Chain A
Amino acid sequence: MGYPYSHTSEVPIISEYFGDPEARTLDGWKARGGYQGLQKALEMSPDNVVELVKASGLRGRGGAGFPTGLKWSFMPKTKDKPHYLLCNADESEPGTFKDRELMRWVPHQLIEGCLIGAYAMGAEHVYIYCRGEFFEATQVLAKAVEDAYEAGIIGDDVLGSGKKIEVTVHAGAGAYICGEETGLMSSLEGDRGEPRVKPPFPAAVGAFGMPTTINNVETLAVIPHIIKNGGEWYRQWGSDKSPGTKLFCVSGHVNRPGNYELPLGFPLKDLIYDVCGGMIGDRALKAVIPGGSSVPLLSAEEAENCALCYEGVVEAGSMLGCASVIVMDETTDIVHQVTRMASFYAHESCGQCTPCREGTAWVTTILQRIEDGRGTEDDLDTLVELTEQMTGTTICVLSDSVAAPVQSSIEKFRGEYLALIRRGERVGAA
């Protein structure tokens, strides 16, 4: 269920036990149907498990939306080298807070998904890379892993199947870029978390040089349910291109911020005004970021006509990303918020690629200058051009991510920038 508020529109599949403290215990999880999916998967052939996931149409929930079954099928079928499954629990995208809930309320759901994935791809070791700041959630997960080992669910003889799968819970140390799949691999290997050029792709040369698949926490959390109930079952929600449900993390100026599990395609308007109880103080909607700070802003009008699925958000002029909906009302100082987002990227850039290393800091400096009242109209054109130069020219898309808020805000809220530049006018309390 939604946490900390639920709503009748929800379809709680992976969030059903949010807020239920018993669900994190092993017995509690089993009593709630846990590990039946794993049991079933172990009775199928690994290839059939992959096919089932393909049939469900599940797309990666970490932001890229790549079809999960297809990703799993890239792993080599020969087992002459160790295969690894990495669970990306390095949740750092501003606006996103779903993976923490999944880890601390239903850790066994995640473990089950990891084990099924490992089995399907011939991986004997799963690393769950948790962001370093998640002390509490990581310990819940570590304890759950320990309980699962003790019960023979993880280890040399998974559920008595004779299969061997190890799970290691690994903590990071504070770097957004380690949420990028190749950055995560670099970090796991004990290096600076610097992303790597693709090709080679992780399924060919990944962690420790071995075939590797990286999946987001939410993606893996869905897996046990798909195995239990079938691929077609999952497709009863959502659209053809975006099947199933998604955890939407809503934050900002709404009355009931929190996580809600809704079918993909759900109207953004209803999410704000119905599910989340509308805007605080009934103030007017100004802008919405539908998918975390790395996607373009939507104006109020675009937001109110947007369907929350991968293709729907693209049509509205942005991207679904990780479905972190940040709602901004009329009191929001857009320039200030965009500047803060730019400074986030400048802080988190790994520094390898020059357009990103220099560009994120430059963009931030220009925006800060504008905010300080020392900007010029040329600066706006420069910002657009610089962010163009930062798009499609780097190893990873952190550089492209700066372009999204900067370009979309200049396009859609140019008046606000100009008012600040020309007359020093700022919008009310941020």
Chain B
Amino acid sequence: MSEIPFKNPGWAGNVGEYDLTEEQVRGIDFVGIRPLEGGHPGGSPTYPYMLEEKDPDAPLFEGPYAIRFEKMLTRYPTKQAALLPALNLAQEIRGHVSAETMDRVGSLLGLSSAFVRGVATFYTMYNKRPVGRHFVQVCTNISCNLSGAEDVLDAFLEHTKSEIGETSANGAFTVIEAECLAGCGFPTCVQINSRYYENVTVDEVPRIIAHLRDNAAEAASPASEE
């Protein structure tokens, strides 16, 4: 690797010449805790959290989530256009997109279940099966590959004791290969739930895993509590 001095606060990626904290790089303080009901409708279709605690049986949609869903509907000229945001929201709550979820979202938007299935299966991020508490996605595309991403992937598999794409026995980790995460200047780029871990080397892997185990609440992006 490069011999130039290297600062990686909180795995926020090398800050090089800059003197920045993790919060400053990620914009955590700026964003604060995003309200579950979505804040301004203009931002409601985004997908702020991939929560560790998932409830596959949670109703769609209730409470603040229902408010967020209604806000989403106001932003598009058709109900169908709210499909991706609605599926994103459903996955945020339930952790994955099951057949029942597809059916339910379809009926909320007046779309056939088959159509929703076609859309949900097109996109990589919709988990078709439940995933572990920490969903580890290691970029192995070219820029990260040139910097040892495949070794990082192997390290994650080894230290989480899981098979690629399968959840570990204790349900804590699922590790997969990801396509380019757009963090190419900070190889290897790993996404765990909603957060990017950048400039990850093989040596860092055990530390990250320990960090996830010890600081469960912190490891997710600004976590929300009901």
Q: Is the CB of A256 within 8 A of B46?
A: no
Instruction: Count contacts on B: residues with CB < 8 A to the other chain.
Output: 75
Q: Mark A1-40, 1 if CB is under 8 A from B, else 0.
A: 0011110000000000001010011000000000000000
Q: Is the CB of A138 within 8 A of B47?
A: yes
Closest residue of chain A to B1 (Cβ to Cβ) is A280
- Interface 9-mer from A56-64, A164-172, A198-206, A362-370: A164-172
Q: Is the CB of B183 within 8 A of A208?
A: no
CB proximity to A under 8 Å, residues B91-141: 109, 111, 118-119, 122-126, 140-141
Whole-angstrom distance from the CB of B220 to the nearest CB of chain A?
Answer: 10
Q: Is the CB of A208 within 8 A of B78?
A: yes
The answer to whether B161 has its CB under 8 Å from any CB of chain A is no
The answer to whether A348 has its CB under 8 Å from any CB of chain B is yes
- For A250, the chain B residues whose CB sits under 8 A away are 185
How far, in whole Å, are A6 and B141 apart by their CA atoms in the complex? 26
- Interface 9-mer from B31-39, B165-173, B206-214: B31-39
Q: Is the CB of A326 within 8 A of B142?
A: yes
Closest residue of chain B to A191 (Cβ to Cβ) is B119
Given contacts A97-B184, A136-B26, contact A348 B179 (CB under 8 A): yes
Give the residue among A171, A249, A347 with the most B Cβ atoms within 10 A.
A171
Name A residues whose Cβ lies closer than 8 Å to a Cβ of B: 3-6, 19, 21, 24-25, 82, 91-97, 99-100, 104, 130-143, 145-146, 149-150, 154, 166-176, 187-193, 208, 249-259, 277, 280, 289, 293, 324, 326, 328, 332, 336-337, 340-341, 344, 347-348, 350, 430
The answer to whether B10 has its CB under 8 Å from any CB of chain A is no
B13, B43, B222: the one contacting A142 at CB < 8 Å is B43
B46, B118, B185: the one contacting A138 at CB < 8 Å is B46
How far, in whole Å, are A280 and B43 apart by their CA atoms in the complex? 42
Q: Is the CB of A173 within 8 A of B142?
A: no
Q: Is the CB of B182 within 8 A of A258?
A: no
How far, in whole Å, are A332 and B142 apart by their CA atoms in the complex? 11
Closest 7 pairs between A and B when the two form their complex, measured CB to CB: A4-B16, A142-B43, A174-B125, A174-B124, A190-B83, A173-B123, A190-B80
How far, in whole Å, are A100 and B27 apart by their CA atoms in the complex? 12
Given contacts A24-B27, A171-B45, A174-B123, contact A190 B182 (CB under 8 A): no
Given contacts A92-B180, A251-B143, A251-B185, contact A169 B43 (CB under 8 A): yes
- For B124, the chain A residues whose CB sits under 8 A away are 173-175
Name B residues whose Cβ lies closer than 8 Å to a Cβ of A: 1-4, 13-18, 20, 24, 26-27, 30-32, 34, 39-43, 45-50, 75-85, 87-88, 109, 111, 118-119, 122-126, 140-143, 145-147, 150, 178-187, 191, 194-196, 221-222
Give the residue among B2, B4, B77, B109 with the most A Cβ atoms within 10 A.
B2
- For A172, the chain B residues whose CB sits under 8 A away are 84, 123
A92, A93, A430: the one contacting B145 at CB < 8 Å is A430
Whole-angstrom distance from the CB of A191 to the nearest CB of chain B?
Answer: 6
B26, B42, B140, B191: the one contacting A149 at CB < 8 Å is B42
Q: Is the CB of A142 within 8 A of B34?
A: yes
How far, in whole Å, are A55 and B124 apart by their CA atoms in the complex? 41
How far, in whole Å, are A420 and B168 apart by their CA atoms in the complex? 36
Q: List 20 A-B contacts (CB under 8 A).
A: A4-B14, A5-B4, A5-B16, A21-B30, A95-B180, A131-B182, A133-B182, A135-B221, A136-B221, A139-B31, A142-B39, A145-B43, A149-B40, A169-B42, A170-B75, A176-B179, A249-B185, A257-B184, A289-B142, A341-B142
B3, B17, B32, B187: the one contacting A6 at CB < 8 Å is B17
Besides A100-B182, A133-B125, A136-B26, 7 new A-B residue pairs in contact (Cβ under 8 A), listed by A number: A135-B49, A142-B43, A146-B43, A150-B40, A169-B46, A190-B119, A293-B141
Whole-angstrom distance from the CB of A61 to the nearest CB of chain B?
Answer: 15
- For A130, the chain B residues whose CB sits under 8 A away are 46
Q: Is the CB of A19 within 8 A of B20?
A: yes
Whole-angstrom distance from the CB of A14 to the nearest CB of chain B?
Answer: 16
Give the residue among A6, A135, A188, A347 with the most B Cβ atoms within 10 A.
A135
Whole-angstrom distance from the CB of A40 to the nearest CB of chain B?
Answer: 24
Whole-angstrom distance from the CB of A87 to the nearest CB of chain B?
Answer: 13
- For A293, the chain B residues whose CB sits under 8 A away are 141-142
How far, in whole Å, are A142 and B49 apart by their CA atoms in the complex? 13
Q: Is the CB of A190 within 8 A of B78?
A: yes
- For A140, the chain B residues whose CB sits under 8 A away are 27, 30-31
Q: Is the CB of A430 within 8 A of B180?
A: no
Q: Is the CB of A171 within 8 A of B142?
A: no
Q: Is the CB of A430 within 8 A of B150?
A: yes
How far, in whole Å, are A120 and B83 apart by their CA atoms in the complex? 30
Q: Is the CB of B42 within 8 A of A168?
A: yes
Q: Is the CB of A170 within 8 A of B185?
A: no
How far, in whole Å, are A283 and B16 apart by their CA atoms in the complex? 22
